[in-house]
């Protein structure tokens, strides 16, 4: 039997169809990498194609290495001549030879992220840009997006119209490119842009590579952006032997510039395209695939395909709705521990997938309490994240100014213009006089050579003193929120506007929720008690260094991976799908979220557990959640549903903050809205809220100062609010 007979019928067709444009729609777990490797082997060994004439493009160095390894095992000779590379590495090889044609020296430097930040800092200084208003990171993000779409600085300026902020970006973009050219340097986005520019302006160079690469294959084509599309399109124009492999149902990187239309519109660009569908799945059971197929069918922008398997139906999907997010985490951890103890599977068989990095906090805490080894993939453990360590350092400094490490960590976070030289002088003075770093800060005016930095240091000390003075008068949660506000931490991240900044904001909100949860469930809650609890939770160094651990990761990080046991967490409207996608005017945003759900479901090989919480804390406030609309799309025939009974938790009555809140609520309060002691709406009425939209009134309770109204909003879920502030309008 030859190597091609081991492939199924559709896989064989994909291998044997070598001439002209080919679109291979490879569903999850359908063996696309195997097909590509066999296709290259077939071209060389059966079609006698010179390996020199083959180009295989992947997205990561790891994927390129795996492809190379597979081809080497199949092909007896000549495989070393094949170009198997990422987009960027292919472009570097081309530019090293020909970039002098577009005005650069062939010995150009490639700038990494840190280099880019340094250049941008100089550009902002040169243009006298106020970096408090315009963040350097947001400039770099905007420039990267522009390059993905092949928009020049001049075009960016024209497109800006009367928008002054966009014109400022155009100005910075132009100067940034000027500095790069001056330094004979390219950033990563330039590698693709410059190669396309080279091809467009030098037809002889383009033709030489068209003749070289007569057979082109591209993996993960659904993740390509505009400039990557242009690069491939130009190379394939002459011979049109272009084979692209991808799955439009797994296009989840729109935020990185990926354009799903590249795969959906492939046949329009190449009219003679042969479309081959790989629908047989070798990873998952029938029930898991049934769920995935049914969910993704709700998308309109897709190529129709239906995954199937010969493995049988398997276990039903477990759908569990818990009362709170803590209950959800406890349930998952308890189940894993019990089943591992029974030797039904190992820790490493399990993966917990979630929508946002911030969700890992509650899960991590439960794993630590249960002494279960885990690893956060594609991220950092919650309490080790930069923004969390910074805010905890503020709390430590407020509690104990003698913690030099904490004080030094935050003295210039967010940036106050206090440099390392100044910090070293203070440290030296503190050591010489046997006092703490913070004590030295208090008398900074007595330290020689500090100079003008004294004012900045005094400002920091006064800020800490203000925070310290509020302990005992405001709750810990309010204290944390004041730190975030008064330091400008949130404003700085919001101004940055990048995906990374958004993730850091979500982590900060999760820390607020942690603080609120601690206060509500701890007798005699105190700042020292909170820091002690966090310290114990965050101390994960004692875990055994073993490969047998539970994997925690976001859904975006999970793409391309598979696990025997998958737990898909937080399936609630507003969380997954995200609130922004639910409220977006662009229906494609919600469809991308659904594709992300599809990716999550298809990571499971043997069993899948989907969980949701009825209530979840956000920024320290309890929000009531509807089950995710994606959950409702999973067919009942494959589901085993379980509802977890809530745990009854009461706030300790002797908690000082509980007493304070109750006292506040008991004070007389006159509401303008309630002047007539009668609301214009009743239970069951449809009402409108200026932020949350339309909803149904579920409950009305008369309190000491106001009516507490519970409303089930169509998009935002269930909310509790005071009538006087909600200003709900009854709808006819």
Q: Which of 136, 189, 219, 520 is catalytic?
A: 219
Residue in 245, 238, 255, 193 with CA at minimum distance from that of residue 38 = 245
12, 18, 33, 306: which one is catalytic?
A: 33
Q: Answer yes or no: 135 catalytic.
A: no
Contact of 506 with 357, CB cutoff 8 Å: yes
Distances (CA, A) of 698 to 143, 614, 617, 628: 48, 15, 21, 20
> d(Cα 148, Cα 159) in Å, to the nearest integer?
16
Q: What is the rounded distance in angstroms from the CA atom of residue 1 to the CA atom of residue 680?
A: 80
Determine whether 220 is an active site residue: yes
Centroid of chain to Cα 624:
23
Six token digits for residue 60: 């990561």
3-state helix, strand, coil in the chain (%, to 5): 50, 15, 30
Residue 250 designated active-site: yes
Q: Could you tell me where the DSSP H helices lie in 265-385? A: 266-269, 286-296, 325-341, 360-369
The catalytic position among 32, 39, 214, 375 is 32
Placement of tokens 């690893």 in the chain: 375
Q: Active site includes 487?
A: no
**How many CA atoms, within 13 angstroms, populate the side-chain half-sphere of residue 97?**
10
The token pair that represents 677 in the structure block: 């002691």
Catalytic residue among 565, 603, 614, 629: 603
Is 603 annotated as catalytic?
yes
Give one word for 161, left, alpha or beta, with left for phi > 0 and alpha for psi -120 to 50. left
Contacts of 323 (CB under 8 A, 6+ apart): 613, 614, 615, 644, 645, 646, 647
Tokens linked to 542:
């004692």
Q: Which of 136, 148, 187, 220 is catalytic?
A: 220
- Strand 621-624 with 604-618, pairing: antiparallel
Rounded distance, CA 468 to CA 479, Å? 9
Residue 561 burial (10 A CB sphere; 0-12, 13-18, 19+): middle
520 is catalytic: no
Phi-psi region of 375 (alpha: psi -120 to 50; beta: other; left: phi over 0): beta
Which residue out of 250, 366, 422, 623 is catalytically annotated? 250
Residue 673 CA to residue 18 CA, distance in Å, equals 74
Q: Which active-site residues does the annotation give?
A: 32-33, 219-220, 250, 603
């Amino acid at each position: 039997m030859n190597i091609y007979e081991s492939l199924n019928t559709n896989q064989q067709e994909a291998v044997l169809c070598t001439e002209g444009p080919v679109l291979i729609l490879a569903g999850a777990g359908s063996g696309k990498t195997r097909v590509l490797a066999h296709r290259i082997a077939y071209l060389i060994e059966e079609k006698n194609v010179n390996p020199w004439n083959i180009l295989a493009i992947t997205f990561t160095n790891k994927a390129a290495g795996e492809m190379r390894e597979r081809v080497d095992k199949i092909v007896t000779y000549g495989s070393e001549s094949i170009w198997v590379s990422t987009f960027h590495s292919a472009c570097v090889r081309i530019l090293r030879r020909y970039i002098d044609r577009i005005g650069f020296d062939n010995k150009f430097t490639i700038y990494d992220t840190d280099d880019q930040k340094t250049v941008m800092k100089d550009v902002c200084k040169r243009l006298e840009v106020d970096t408090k208003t315009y963040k350097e990171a947001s400039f770099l993000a905007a420039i990267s997006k522009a390059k993905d779409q092949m928009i020049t600085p001049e075009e960016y300026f024209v497109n800006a119209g009367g928008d002054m902020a966009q014109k400022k970006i155009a100005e910075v973009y132009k100067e940034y490119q000027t500095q790069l050219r001056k330094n004979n340097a390219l950033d990563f986005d330039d590698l693709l842009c410059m190669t396309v520019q080279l091809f467009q302006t030098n037809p002889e160079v383009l033709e030489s590579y068209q003749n070289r690469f007569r057979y082109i294959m591209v993996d993960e084509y659904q993740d390509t952006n505009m400039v990557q599309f242009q690069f491939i399109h130009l190379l394939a124009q002459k011979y049109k032997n272009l084979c692209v492999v991808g799955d439009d149902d797994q296009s989840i990187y729109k935020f990185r510039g990926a354009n799903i239309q590249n795969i959906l519109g492939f046949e329009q660009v190449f009219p003679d395209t042969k479309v081959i569908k790989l629908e047989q799945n070798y990873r998952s059971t029938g029930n898991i695939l049934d769920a995935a197929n049914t969910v993704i069918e709700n998308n309109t922008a897709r190529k129709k395909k239906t995954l199937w398997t010969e493995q049988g139906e398997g276990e039903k999907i477990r759908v569990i709705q818990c009362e709170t997010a803590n209950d959800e985490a406890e349930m998952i951890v308890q189940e894993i521990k019990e089943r591992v103890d029974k030797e039904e599977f190992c820790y490493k068989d399990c993966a917990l997938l979630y929508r946002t990095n911030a969700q890992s906090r509650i899960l991590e805490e439960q794993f630590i309490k249960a002494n279960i080894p885990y690893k956060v993939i594609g991220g950092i453990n919650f309490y080790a994240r930069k923004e969390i360590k910074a805010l905890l350092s503020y709390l430590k400094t407020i509690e104990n100014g003698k913690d030099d490490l904490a004080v030094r960590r935050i003295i210039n976070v967010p940036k106050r213009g206090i440099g390392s030289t100044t910090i070293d002088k203070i440290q030296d003075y503190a050591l010489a006089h046997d006092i703490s770093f913070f004590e030295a800060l208090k008398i900074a005016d007595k330290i020689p050579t500090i100079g003008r930095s004294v004012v900045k240091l005094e400002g920091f000390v006064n800020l800490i003193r203000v925070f310290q003075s509020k302990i005992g008068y405001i709750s810990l949660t309010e204290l944390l929120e004041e730190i975030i506000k008064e330091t400008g931490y949130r404003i700085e991240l919001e101004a940055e506007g990048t995906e990374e900044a958004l993730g850091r904001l979500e982590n900060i909100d999760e820390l607020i929720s942690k603080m609120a949860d601690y206060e509500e469930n701890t007798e005699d809650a105190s700042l020292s008690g909170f820091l002690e609890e966090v310290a114990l939770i965050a101390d994960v160094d004692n875990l055994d260094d073993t490969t047998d651990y539970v994997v925690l990761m976001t859904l975006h990080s999970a793409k391309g991976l598979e696990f025997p046991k998958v737990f898909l967490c937080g399936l609630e409207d507003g969380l997954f799908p995200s609130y922004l996608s639910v409220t977006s005017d662009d229906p494609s945003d919600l469809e991308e979220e659904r594709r992300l759900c599809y990716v999550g479901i298809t990571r499971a090989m043997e069993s899948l557990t989907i969980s949701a919480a009825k209530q979840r804390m956000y920024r320290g406030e309890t929000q009531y959640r509807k089950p995710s609309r994606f959950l409702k799309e999973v067919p009942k025939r494959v589901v085993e549903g379980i509802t977890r009974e809530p745990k009854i938790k009461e706030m300790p009555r002797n908690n000082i903050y509980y007493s304070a809140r109750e006292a506040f609520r008991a004070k007389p309060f006159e509401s303008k809205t309630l002047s007539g002691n009668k609301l214009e709406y009743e239970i069951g009425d449809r009402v409108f809220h200026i932020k949350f939209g339309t909803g149904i009134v579920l409950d009305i309770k008369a309190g000491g100062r106001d009516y507490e109204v519970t409303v089930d909003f169509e998009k935002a879920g269930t909310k509790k609010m005071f009538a006087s502030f909600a200003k709900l309008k009854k709808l006819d």
